[in-house]
Amino acid sequence: MTREQQEQEAEVHRPLPRIAITPHKVRVLITEGKGLEIDWEDGHRSAWSFALLRDACPCATCVDERKKEGRSIGESKPKSADLLPMYKPPARPASAQAVGRYAIQFVWLDGHSGGIYSWEYLRRNCQCSECKLVALESAGGIQ
Ligand SMILES: [Zn+2]
Ligand SMILES: [Zn+2]
């Protein structure tokens, strides 16, 4: 296990208050192709592009694939050098639906649909600079 993986594990086990993982408002901007935006009950706002969400798919297959390739959540696949470069449009969902009260699921245009993105998972992987900084700081010491 690398230090980075240990840090990610530590981050995963840090408990979050309920209001931090309860969405107040969820916007899925499919038509605009923009991504997912969530306003949380604690006043925080998160936004993810669809491409990032696709690369952060939490299904077992994608988690395995990322582990094997040493990619972190949301990190895209390295472009392979020995293939002719082909234009690959950024990932977009065909549709999105709520899963109970705890998660959201996407049906991607590439046919993939196994990943269930829990609110907690999304909040823990918030991409805003504030959260990334906190993640860095908490990885640096407190355990
Ligand atoms: Zn997946
Ligand atoms: Zn954030």
Q: How many angstroms does the Cα of residue 63 sit away from the middle of ligand 1? A: 7
Q: At what angle do helices 129-140 and 3-13 cross, to 10 degrees?
A: 110
Q: How many angstroms does the Cα of residue 59 sit away from the middle of ligand 1? A: 4
Which ligand ends up closest to the CA of 135? 2
Cβ-based neighbours of 142, under 8 Å, separated by 6 or more: none
> Running DSSP on this structure, what letter comes out for residue 88?
-
* 10-residue stretch averages of pLDDT, the chain, 143 residues long: 65 81 97 96 97 96 96 85 70 95 96 96 94 79 44
Q: What is the pLDDT of residue 38?
A: 98
Q: How many CB atoms lie within 10 A of CB 22?
A: 16
Q: What is the pLDDT of residue 8?
A: 62
Task: Flag whether 46 is in a domain.
Answer: yes
Task: Flag whether 87 is in a domain.
Answer: no
Q: How many angstroms does the Cα of residue 104 sit away from the middle of ligand 2? A: 18
Which ligand ends up closest to the CA of 117? 1
Cα separation, 42 vs 51, in Å, equals 26
Q: What is the pLDDT of residue 134?
A: 82
Task: Flag whether 69 is in a domain.
Answer: yes
What pTM does this model have? 0.82
Task: Flag whether 49 is in a domain.
Answer: yes
**Count of domains forming the chain:** 1
Q: Residue 46's domain is classified under what CATH number?
A: 3.30.2020.30
Cβ-based neighbours of 18, under 8 Å, separated by 6 or more: 41
Task: Flag whether 83 is in a domain.
Answer: no
Q: How many CB atoms lie within 10 A of CB 15?
A: 8
Q: How many angstroms does the Cα of residue 125 sit away from the middle of ligand 2? A: 8
Q: How many angstroms does the Cα of residue 130 sit away from the middle of ligand 2? A: 6
Q: How many angstroms does the Cα of residue 143 sit away from the middle of ligand 1? A: 30
Inter-residue contact 40 to 83 (CB < 8 Å): no
Name the residue range of residue 112's domain. 18-75+93-130
Task: Flag whether 6 is in a domain.
Answer: no
Task: Flag whether 80 is in a domain.
Answer: no
| Backbone φ, ψ for residue 52 (5° rounding) | -65, -40
